[in-house]
Structure 1
Amino acid sequence: MRRIYLSLVLLNTLAVTFIWGINSLLLFEAGLSNTEALTANACFTLGYAAFEIPTGSIADTWGRRASYLLGGGTLTVTTLLYWLAWRLHAGVWAWAAVSVVLAVGFTFFSGATEAWLVDALHFLQYDGRLEQVFARAQIVTGIGTLAGSLGGAYVAQATNVGVPFLIRAALLLTLTVVAWRVMHDIGFSRRRSAGPLREVRRVVTESVRHGWGHPAVRWVMLGAVFAAGVSYYVAFTMKPYLLQLAHDPHAYGLLGIAAAANAAAQTVGGLLSMAVQRLFRRRVSVIITGVLLNGALLVGFGLARSVPVAIALLAGISMVSAAILPSRQAYLNSLLPSGKRATVLSFDSLISSSGGVVTQPGLGWVADQRGYPTSFVLGGVLQAFALPVLFLARRHEVAAATREEPAVVVPQRS
């Protein structure tokens, strides 16, 4: 099951990141300004938040596999719609509409893969720690990101920025077929749906009860609002900023190098994650330290005046994020019952992505008025707003917050 999980992570990452080096440039080539492009991207984030609840129930009723397959199919179609919008030089609202549908595809993935893995490992009596599996997933993600982003950037430089989107659609279709063949729900009992409206009401109720109603979970979720919103903005705008620093608007290969450096740093972060956890007694302390470091690195990125320094700081942000993510994943999963795991993890994505709805267009407006450097420095300062709620999470003395407790809990049947 671990090999299947890591294989799916690798193929998924390769497909998703094939356009990471040039995705924002597609919108700018279509004639959108910073504010317009980030408004369209904020609509993606809004769609992510709006559909997390409805799609989150699918993994707990139809099954984790069904949710994953729906995600793969939806992303294949919407990737092609992105390419079509670029070809037609569509306006901002057309991009916004496609972005919302694209977000729906990602919400089918959200929570389902992790819930599928944790249920299966418990059913097979896995006695290891979840952090080890999630750390390997970070390493695999780094390798996939390295190959995907570097390959996509150089394909764009050799052809145009639209071709990587066609290749991505083909990779996503392959991922869907592979998942259909190898991914099966193990250790999970499907629950009959009570109808769409009742199901949404149930998901909201259970999300509030098992997620928002649990103080240790609630504060960690809220802590991601500022960090996630800023990270969405940085991932979208660092490409035109690097081209600006390089004084070459068509140096797509440089963007591939930057993405490859981030991927390599992510791999290193995954390798270091277990060592980092041994430095702290509480998982929340790992998260707090990561937020502090990333805020400082982002301020430095905004002040950088050379491409090598900027890329190095970006790589530092990726390494820190990868090093702390396994702690956050294990922390949340250890607190959630099996039958509600995918639901609450989707709710976590809803909460964290909601910050990007306001942050992205807001920082985009700052970039239009004062330039990219000012917007990045402001983004680094905004990340500090996550610290008070994370300290509140740390105050709650729960077993899952300590490194010594087992990471897998006995799942409850629905």
Structure 2
Amino acid sequence: MENNRLVEIVSDEEEKLTGNIYLGRVEKVVNALDAIFVNIGNKKNGFLRLKDIPEEYYNYFSLKKIDKGTKLLVQVKKDPVGDKGPQLTANISIAGRYMVLFPFSKVIGVSKKIEDENERARLHDIAKYISENSNLGVIIRTAAEGLDESYIQSEMDLLANRAFEVLEIFKRKRKAQILYKEENLLDYVLREKLTKDVRLIITNNLKHLETIKKYLKIFIKRPKIEIIDGDTFDYMNIYKYFRELFSRKVSLPSGGEIIIDKTEALTIIDVNSKHFVKGKSQQETAFQTNKEAVSEIFRQLRLRNIGGIVLVDFIDMDSNDMKNMLLEQISEEIKKDKSKIEIFGFTKLGLLEMSRKRTVRSFFENYISPCPVCGGAGFIVSPKITIKNLYQKIEEAPKEAKEVIIKLHPHFKNLIEKSKLKKVKDLVYHIHFTYHDPKSFEITWKI
């Protein structure tokens, strides 16, 4: 939580595969896609693009060609979504709190979120030294800012041992299987989310204490740990925020709102001023609403873990200065998000184009299922069409029929009248509004 508002949920509702390393067997090579499908021992085969296999990988394993049945060491890059299997990479990485190690890459880098140039240079020198002495790629993470070199070196030794163990197991095994699993939820949250800005950690589990303290060792000013009885989410009013996530509309403080719609290809966010009319002019009202919307949009991206292409339809602003001020605000919001976000600017139609890297399942995929009535379309056949079909069915009544029992969805209670049905066919009508499907009906004839 930030400023008493929920900004992120990390869930283990479904098993997270991202980061796991597998021994895989090639099932199919698809030259048209420049990709291969790999059996990793799960229900769905993984998808590996050939460009995600580094040159060093071929050299290390003496690979000349990849055919069906070839044994590969692969890592899940993105969790499976819908009918799509997990996306894989052969550029294996082992992530720690302060650094990420790459056995098949000579990359050297420092997190872009570290802005101090002197600190960046110091950490780059450390990364270069580690890489040259270990023959491994190294990227220093944001959490290493200001950290003594000994901590970074200590973690490097740990990660290098893990990488070596994975490679040794891979050489011995033959069957498709998991070789390395990402840490449990508690370790993952503390590794990824615990920064010097955290002031309070709340838990209702005494067993968590030892793990939490392990991660707090390097902090000079340590956050307070609060242990409570009962439900921590209830204690912090999380469930209220959680319920709001099932709505596509999110209210803004001054009366405006944003509307979030997810499609197969992208997420669209619409900004409306709605009840906010206090600005001195239409342009000022638009700018103030858009400013509030920026903060809420980037909060919702993290909260709902929305990834992929995102289009934002802000309220029209004629002033380029106003647009530039919005882009500056957006740059500040991006710094709060650990996921990589790219801003491509405003289109000719005034839509803001951006993308956010997705690795694990979003809120939608974890907590929302398609409606069994509309199949996820968000709409159903008009009641008029259903009633027209009912009339047609009554016209085809058996000659000997005297009465008819019709079962309709409660949705039709004020839409259908016996008098109108009698004009179609003179029968005794028994209408029950108990049918489960608003797109259809059930008819039983009584002779």
Q: TM-score range by the shorter chain?
A: under 0.3
Which structure shows the higher strand fraction?
2
The TM-score, its normalising length taken from structure 1, stands at 0.24
Structure number with higher relative contact order (C-alpha < 8 Å, ≥ 6 residues apart): 1
Higher radius of gyration, 1 or 2: 2
